[in-house]
Structure 1
């Protein structure tokens, strides 16, 4: 099949010229308004008439008037063209100032860690931006889902994404409640987990995550078992607090329950450090002001955050890394 590599003429070609002539009833004044020559204006209108299949203007040497076909065309084309101009201005407006709907794909467990401390302040700072948070553990296609950006653990972000650091690297901690540990021998080594009920995470791809550790200079993945499998870390933290078993979770999620005594940290010499949490978006996509405003707001709010909490210390160039 032979392809035509030329763009077909659009039904809109010549409409702006037609409307200008209809407004002024004069080709020269219409040409001056659009900053083109009278001959170019005449040719545009003539081409439009040929495509429509009817004369739109009645021309004499001294006047220009609309034919009946021209009147009908004007009555429909003028409001439609004005709506197109308004649509273009509305889209241009979103490209020039922070406004519109900002859609973020976020794991449930990250919502309290990242968004709750900043979202209220962001909404107050940018009242023309509406923030929509789609909380799900699924790895979504940002473009197909209509999202401006996503937030994920760094190790889960595709390498072709632009990533902006939201937290410092933090440890993955094994935790258990005092009730669970009462009467049980606390694990001292990784192999001791075989004697414990371990709460596990099912990843978005369907696999059950092993528990990663470091033993000296060696990386270790422990295959554990237990009574509960969850799809998000927040559920694991809650189950550990209730004494269902031990859980391995991001350090920031365990900080508060450890501080108030609901959980205790275990196997800390073997804790592996993850890269942290990142906001990410397609590298080839233009960053609209609404997303840029969110990035800058998070960076500013995190400037004095403690290690492991939300923080974006470091140069802007360094933050825009490709996570692997």
Structure 2
């Protein structure tokens, strides 16, 4: 492949990934005019319009979308192969990009990184915390961290945390003034604080199970967040019930700031997993971080 074509294709992928010439140019270290010239040259050589530009956004045309889908995995493999050359050096190096939920980043990823990074000064890690179910291939992340049940089957998944539960909690003063809660169906008479997934815009349905009977409840309330931390704060302030990781609310339950309900309806979920494409050739730096994150039960 000619160097000019390779660079222009990289530029095209950056624009599609960022949805913006401004952000893509900053990432590539180019001026906006130079980046625009590259894209125009690529479109001229292909004889096809690849991008639709408006005053607010940039999106791929049908031809551009097909090109992006064909190129992204191949460029990822090229990047992984180049990163793999670091094994020829004395010290592992390179940048590892990870997308993670806010809770997993705080409770699992950061404690590992805090001990891991001082051992490998040439390894850099970029962590993007959000509640979306990110397409790590399209967004060019090396890996993602999510609960085990949320991971696509074509990914390699490595457990990095123990099984966990989500539990229903509320401020005692709130619960004392509202109808009692004996089953998940009783939640319909309460203010519940919703979690919205930004990926598809949907609200998370609270998942319950008892004696092999599973029940998903679409709760309602006056507040919706895309952050578990904000949901916790709202519940502590008395604005309704929250459905949150047990380890996140345990200190508040112990201190009497929150009270748990429906305990016998809250099942264990597969814990957090690190996942990445099965076709990915791990670099030495990535392999080291995977091993550091791998969950090892104490009785194993």
Deviation at 1:181, TM superposition (A): 2.0
For normalisation by structure 2, the TM-score amounts to 0.67
Q: Which runs of 4+ in 1 moved over 4 A?
A: 88-91, 94-97
Q: Which residue of 1 aligns with 2:124?
A: 130
Which stretch of structure 1 is more off in the superposition, 124-133 or 229-238? 229-238
User: What's the offset of the Cα at 1:264?
Assistant: 1.6
Q: Which blocks of at least 5 consecutive residues in structure 1 are unaligned? A: 1-6, 9-87, 306-312, 315-324
Change in Cα spacing, 1:94 to 1:242, as seen in structure 2 (3 Å) is farther
Q: 1:225 to 1:127 in 2, by over 3 A?
A: same
Secondary structure of 1:112's aligned partner: helix
Deviation readout 1:223-272 (Å, 9 max, x if unpaired): 22111111132222221112110011222222232233322211001112
- Preserved CA contact (<8 Å) 1:173 1:268: yes
Q: Does 1:249 align with 2:268?
A: no
**Distance in 1 separating the partners of 2:225 and 2:214:** 24
Alignment of 1:1-324 (within 5 A): 92-93=85-86, 97-203=91-197, 204-299=199-294, 302-303=295-296
Shift, 1:281, TM fit: 0.4
Give distance in 2, aligned partners of 1:214 and 1:241: 25
Paired with 2:117 and 2:217, the residues of 1 have a C-alpha distance of: 43
SS of the residue corresponding to residue 290 of structure 2 reads helix
TM-score (norm 1): 0.62
* Alignment partners' CA distance in 2, 1:248 and 1:153: 15
SS in 2 for 1:103: strand
Secondary structure of 2:138's counterpart equals: helix
Task: Give distance in 2, aligned partners of 1:177 and 1:286.
Answer: 48
After superposition, the CA RMSD in angstroms is: 2.5
Show structure 2 runs of 5+ residues with no match.
3-80
Contact 2:170 2:236 in 1 (8 A): yes
Q: How many aligned residue pairs are there?
A: 220
Q: Distance in 1 between matches of 2:88 and 2:182?
A: 56
Please tell me whether Structure 1 or Structure 2 has the larger radius of gyration of its CA atoms: 1
Equivalents in 2 of 1:243, 1:95: separation in Å? 57
Tell me by how many angstroms 1:89 deviates. 8.9
